[in-house]
């Protein structure tokens, strides 16, 4: 299917370098996203470690495009899938955690929620909010993720990244120029690990804060449904959910996609939605809000891939 996009006569797998990790042709990406929709990757690459990733980047043909995905919690992959190679850091080498005083360094492939027990065990507070952000550690930087009045920029120390040429750099906050739900993040950067700084706290207090935050999410958000979290960024000084509700979008549906009845800024896949349903619903909301308020909402969910 994708080979025709590149004028190729043979699958691109034939031209990829030998690696220690795993290549999966025509890999179903829907199972790698929280929405549970989207077409396949021409090839999915699961590197064994950073050296394996570097080998791939240095030796792959230059014309083959590369796309990085994380936990898929803030991602909408279109129904036509993603041409080229999709990389996901899912091996144990990318999930290590270490502490240095109040600083914690976590591998990019670690699920944010899996940092919970580590923080409690080491008595490191101030980072509880990170555990309630859906997704994985590597995805925190691109969107300057945050909740409960905190953002990654507030606690960020440094990160190790690998660029498209396989070179590794240590970066600081100045390299990202963090702003509300965004950063100046080059497309060819791959986060390897992130170091965050918290403060000393009693384990029971850390756990209490985490439990309270999770309880709040369960009460106010559709946490057990197929959704990608907040769909649109909050315009400065305003709340996206309120604009959506006041514009008559509550309960709006397109195919198997609909606006959550629990939180208007969450779109839900009721089970049979396509990526096109979800994207069309989002664009419909943007148009209705613009007609009602003259404000243009901006997608917070990252969209990628080609339409079917």
Q: What are the residue numbers of the active site? A: 181, 230, 300
Provide the 8-state DSSP code for 94. G
User: What are the CB-based long-range contacts (under 8 Å, 24+) for 126-132?
Assistant: 126/102, 126/155, 126/197, 126/198, 126/199, 126/201, 127/155, 127/196, 127/198, 128/206, 128/209, 128/210, 128/213, 129/213, 130/155, 130/196, 131/210, 131/213, 132/210, 132/213, 132/214, 132/217
How many angstroms separate the CA atoms of 282 and 275, rounded? 11
Nearest-angstrom CA–CA distance, 282 and 273: 13
Q: Which two tokens stand for residue 85?
A: 């190679």
């Amino acid at each position: 299917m994708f080979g025709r996009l590149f004028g190729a006569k043979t699958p691109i797998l034939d031209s990829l370098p030998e690696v220690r990790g795993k290549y999966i042709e025509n890999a179903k990406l829907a199972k790698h996203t929280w929405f549970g929709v989207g077409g396949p990757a021409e090839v999915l690459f699961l590197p064994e470690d950073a050296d394996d990733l570097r080998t791939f980047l240095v030796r792959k043909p230059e014309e083959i495009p590369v796309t990085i995905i994380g936990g898929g919690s803030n991602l909408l992959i279109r129904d036509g899938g993603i041409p080229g190679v999709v990389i996901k850091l899912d091996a144990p080498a990318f999930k290590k955690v270490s502490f240095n005083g109040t600083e914690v360094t976590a591998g990019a492939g670690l699920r944010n929620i899996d940092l919970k027990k580590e923080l409690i065990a080491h008595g490191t507070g101030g980072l509880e909010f990170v555990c309630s952000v859906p997704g994985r550690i590597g995805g925190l930087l691109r969107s300057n993720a945050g909740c409960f009045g905190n953002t990654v920029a507030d606690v960020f120390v440094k990160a190790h990244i690998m660029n498209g040429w396989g070179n590794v750099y240590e970066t600081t906050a100045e390299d990202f120029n963090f702003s509300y739900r965004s950063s100046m993040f080059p497309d060819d950067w791959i986060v390897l690990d992130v170091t965050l700084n918290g403060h000393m706290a009693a384990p029971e207090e850390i756990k209490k804060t985490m439990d309270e935050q999770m309880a709040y999410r369960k009460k106010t958000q559709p946490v057990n449904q197929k959704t990608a979290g907040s769909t649109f960024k909050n315009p400065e000084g305003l709340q996206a959910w309120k604009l959506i509700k006041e514009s008559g979008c509550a309960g709006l549906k397109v195919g198997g996609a609909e606006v959550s009845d629990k939180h208007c800024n969450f779109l839900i896949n009721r089970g049979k939605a396509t990526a096109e349903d979800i994207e069309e619903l989002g664009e419909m909301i943007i148009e209705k809000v613009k007609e009602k308020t003259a404000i243009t909402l901006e997608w917070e969910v990252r969209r990628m891939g080609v339409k079917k």
